[in-house]
Structure 1
Amino acid sequence: MLEDVLRKWNGLEVSAMEVYSDVFRLGENEIQRNGEPKGQFKANPVGYWSNNGQKGHFRIFFDDIFEETLKELQEADFAILNGLTYFGRKNVQAHASKVYALIFDLDGVTDKTLNAFLNGAFEVDAYPIPNYIALSGHGVHLYYVMEEPVSLFPYMKIQMKELKYALTEKIWNMYTSTDDHKQFQGINQGFRVIGGKTKIEGVRVRAFRINSHPFSVSQLNKYIPRESRIDETKLWKESRMTLEEARKKYPEWYEEKVVRKSPRRYWQCKEDLYEWWKRKILEGATYHHRYFLIMCLAIYGVKCGKSFEDVEKDAYELVPFLNAVNPSDPFTEEDCQSALECFDPKYCTFPIDDIVKISGILIEKNKRNGLKQEQHLYLARRRKEDMKAIELPMKALEGRPRGSSQQKIVVTEWRYNNPKGKPKDCILATGISKNTVYRWWKEAY
């Protein structure tokens, strides 16, 4: 039995309150108390429950009545909670405040695969050792408690999601699960409450403590590829300055943001940027970056002032193409809808370097050495004339052939729109030479 495997690795069964007290630091003034005055900028865990398949309800967990609320959810037919806190009454990603624990679903677990996972974690450091493992009925939930809660500013939500995806890829494999279909879940995913009901009649979710040491971001980073790691220099260091202290130290900011409640102003880009990103997706989409390509499409949509309806339409049209990148692991409309959550003005300032990191698509920056475009081009042309004058060789004397940069895009788009088409059909339809079509045919799709 799974519990015997856990006990073999010194797993100790613990109560739901022991787990949640550890995760959310109950009694340490970390989350809001019931009736606590506003202005402390605290957030709370938010659960969700339903009975008999009827409409569900959200439930806020307050510090001082946490156990009472938990008992209510434990008796519901279906009740979930995650390791995040939220501002407001719903556990929607837009209101997420901090990550206190990352929780992973691992299905297809047998005594053999669970033992393989724990052996890999303890003996060869192949996986991080979970703080808690919950037996959820047909699978297990792995709890990794954060040493310091991670503040979920817009860029950090995306980085945390990529970290969780990369860890899922690491943890869920042929040795640790009999299920080939990995479940890549976002940080906002809820999990059945410990002590609550499972899908199996009469069986409750049980938790076992495996590891008493919480994790820092750097400790989790070491288990995943470098390109998926969180940039620790961008972790928010929470200020303990009170609002009154901020008013005295930053009077202009206080007047604009607190008194007048002025919204933040953003620079709006041309729509060409958005169309360029759609082409980049068709040119360079890869299996592990599909989700983040649509997230970046939403970000560019916001940057360029597009309507959500237009971005949503474009995103759904890309689903068949992204699915074809790896049909054995489909990219679904649910994945697409989840990625579109990044259509939010807060992401207007999302850095190019981070877009490169999460999308896997290289974006070359314009190098003008601080000059305006006109000044930069003037000097570049003068340099070309000087090189001609003294007969220095140039890679492309008069630039590359007109239109050559578009040929790969044209072939890619034609294959996307004609999945059953052949090279000869593409040659006839586009007018591109035979050699050029065959050159890009395999790379295009």
Structure 2
Amino acid sequence: MANNIIDVKRNYREVEDLLSFHYKEIEGEEFYRYIFPNNQNEGEYSGDYSKPNAIYLYEDERDKGTERRLRRRIMLNDTWEEDYRKFVKDNPMTLCSGLAYRGMVNRLEYSQQMNSLVFDLDSVGKDELLTLFLRIGKEPGLRRLPQPTFIVMSGTGLHIYYVFEEPIDLFPNIKLQLKKLKYDLTFKIWEYKATSQEKQIQYQSINQGFRMVGSKNDKYGLSVKAFKTGDRVTLDYINAYVDEKENQVDIKRRFRPSQYTKEEAKEKFPEWYQRVVVEKNRNQKKWDIKRDLYDWWLRQSHKVKGGHRYFYLMCMVIYAVKCNIPKKEVEADMYDKFDELSRIEHSNPLEEEDIKSALETYDRQYYNFTINDIEKLTDIRIDRNKRNYQKQKDHLEEARMIRDLRMKRQGRKWTDNNGRPKGSGTKEDLVKKYVSENPDHTPTEIARNLGISRTTVYKYL
């Protein structure tokens, strides 16, 4: 561990020298005023959430020796100077995202505007920063990146801030689009042995909190410093650097359009209509899932890589929520896994605080967290289960009942042997005949011209 600390501090000094040579350092108080210029004043704050505020978390001396880890506080405009000195400056643990929230809770469901899109780039030294310099601010293209507004030294790496000219209103579908955009650009920013010394990419949500400028990195005692590297940006500018067009954000698509009228939905989905339209219950419905899924996830710990240990724990909590596992039980399981995960090599040590942080996801809003999201966060491939977590015997019994019902409606029986007779127009015959007539065609051409899959072509070649 000693060598690791030496490496981290050497990287920090080299990155600081390089950034300070090219750019101006910005103090923390000014940094957050720049990102959040529209925070309310103390007297304005009320139940009117037309003006959302930034929310930050900080460690308080009064909580030492207790189970409470961090306190939550609203960033108000007229008290910020004093609050910054009291709660953020030189604090060993503070967190703030680039979003503004309605109310006093910094959950994604309460987020109202995105003021800044932020990316985390871990394990950065002089060489990685020089590579980043070569890629930012150029015309869009392969591995090229938009010019950031700020580059922040986190202690072990960089936080890259894109501050928008106008905050983006976070309508439901805009949140989903921004998540896809962030995943796309994260893949582009994070490259092993080029922009990072870490092998594993770390994907994060759009409301991820980051160490605050002016605070200290509690693991290494290093100051979090910010450098002004560019101007405010527009969404169109960021969109231009997204590789896949479907991952760009269309600000006009605020909601996913429904293919049904309200009358059609009432007839087709009476349960949904009663719950959402009549009872005004907007919470997503929770499916009843057996605990087999949770137990399966516990067995996947051997697949975890260094940069994904925390996210494995977080997804353990999410699976516990899905499967109705009590919070105390999942907490005990997390401690059981802690020693195993701690032995996985990484520049940042896994700490007990990571368990407490991951437990914060024990919340209803994570009921419908998708498989794709879990795969992105943990870098663990999840095979899709076609049996809906049923035993194979039960699944096959159900499938046969559906098959027999369909045959009955057609006036046939499964045993009638009404299929195509072998050797008469079967796919095998089609492939063999085609190949004999077109011996130079590739499997892809054969499949396309016959209207069958390449798998079937390979089967009979």
**TM-score when normalising by structure 2:** 0.55
Q: 1:211 aligns with which of 207, 230, 248?
A: 230
Structure 2 unaligned segments of length 5 or more: list them.
Answer: 1-13, 65-69, 256-274, 389-397, 423-461
Residue 53 of structure 2 corresponds to 44
Whole-angstrom CA distance in 2 between matches of 1:143 and 1:216: 13
Contact 1:134 1:205 in 2 (8 A): yes
Equivalent AA in structure 2 for residue 45 of structure 1: A
How many residue pairs are counted as aligned between the two chains?
360
Q: 2:33 aligns with which of 21, 45, 51?
A: 21
Shift of 1:214: 2.4
Matched, 1:347 2:366: yes
Matched, 1:143 2:161: yes
Residue 80 of structure 1 corresponds to 94
Q: 1:115 aligns with which of 130, 146, 150?
A: 130
Matches within 5 A, 1:91-130: 98-106=113-121, 108-123=123-138, 125-130=143-148
Residue 430 of structure 2 corresponds to none
Contact 2:321 2:364 in 1 (8 A): yes
Matched, 1:60 2:74: yes
Residue 34 of structure 1 corresponds to 42
Shift of 1:61: 1.2
Residue 18 of structure 2 corresponds to 5
Identify if the C-alpha distance between structure 1 residues 355 and 381 changes in structure 2 by more than 3 Å, giving closer, same or farther.
Answer: farther
Which SS does the other structure have where 1:85 is aligned? strand
Q: 1:363 aligns with which of 377, 384, 391?
A: 384
- Deviation string 1:395-439 (CA, Å, 9 cap, x unpaired) is xxxxxxxxxxxxxxxxxxxxxxxxxxxxxxxxxxxxxxxxxxxxx
Matches within 5 A, 1:15-414: 15-16=27-28, 18-24=30-36, 26-27=37-38, 31-36=39-44, 38-41=46-49, 42-49=51-58, 55=64, 58-73=72-87, 75-78=89-92, 80-82=94-96, 83-86=98-101, 98-106=113-121, 108-123=123-138, 125-135=143-153, 140-146=158-164, 148-149=167-168, 151=170, 156=175, 160=179, 163=182, 167=186, 170-171=189-190, 173-177=192-196, 187-194=207-214, 206-214=225-233, 216=235, 219=238, 267=285, 269-272=287-290, 274-276=291-293, 278-279=295-296, 298-313=317-332, 327-328=344-345, 338-350=357-369, 360-363=381-384, 376-380=402-406, 382=408, 385-386=413-414, 388-390=416-418, 392=420
Contact 2:143 2:188 in 1 (8 A): no
Equivalent AA in structure 1 for residue 31 of structure 2: V
Identify if the C-alpha distance between structure 1 residues 262 and 215 changes in structure 2 by more than 3 Å, giving closer, same or farther.
Answer: same
Which SS does the other structure have where 2:193 is aligned? coil
Which SS does the other structure have where 1:69 is aligned? helix
Shift of 1:309: 3.0
Which SS does the other structure have where 1:47 is aligned? strand
Shift of 1:62: 0.9
- Deviation string 1:364-408 (CA, Å, 9 cap, x unpaired) is 6689xxxx99984443464893464235479xxxxxxxxxxxxxx
Identity %: 25
- Deviation string 1:236-256 (CA, Å, 9 cap, x unpaired) is 56xxxxxxxxxxxxxxxxxx9
Contact 2:173 2:254 in 1 (8 A): no
Contact 1:133 1:210 in 2 (8 A): yes
**TM-score when normalising by structure 1:** 0.56
Shift of 1:344: 1.9
User: Which stretch has the larger CA shift, 339-348 or 215-224?
Assistant: 215-224
Equivalent AA in structure 1 for residue 44 of structure 2: E
Shift of 1:210: 1.5
Shift of 1:213: 4.0
Equivalent AA in structure 1 for residue 211 of structure 2: F
User: Which stretch has the larger CA shift, 352-361 or 102-111?
Assistant: 352-361
Contact 2:286 2:368 in 1 (8 A): no
Whole-angstrom CA distance in 2 between matches of 1:75 and 1:138: 19
Whole-angstrom CA distance in 1 between matches of 2:71 and 2:78: 21
Identify if the C-alpha distance between structure 1 residues 313 and 76 changes in structure 2 by more than 3 Å, giving closer, same or farther.
Answer: closer
Equivalent AA in structure 2 for residue 191 of structure 1: R
Shift of 1:66: 3.0
Whole-angstrom CA distance in 1 between matches of 2:100 and 2:223: 24
Whole-angstrom CA distance in 2 between matches of 1:109 and 1:134: 12
* RMSD after superposition: 5.7
Shift of 1:100: 2.8
Contact 1:154 1:347 in 2 (8 A): no
Whole-angstrom CA distance in 2 between matches of 1:389 and 1:203: 76
Identify if the C-alpha distance between structure 1 residues 379 and 334 changes in structure 2 by more than 3 Å, giving closer, same or farther.
Answer: farther
Structure 1 unaligned segments of length 5 or more: list them.
Answer: 238-255, 395-445
Shift of 1:132: 0.4
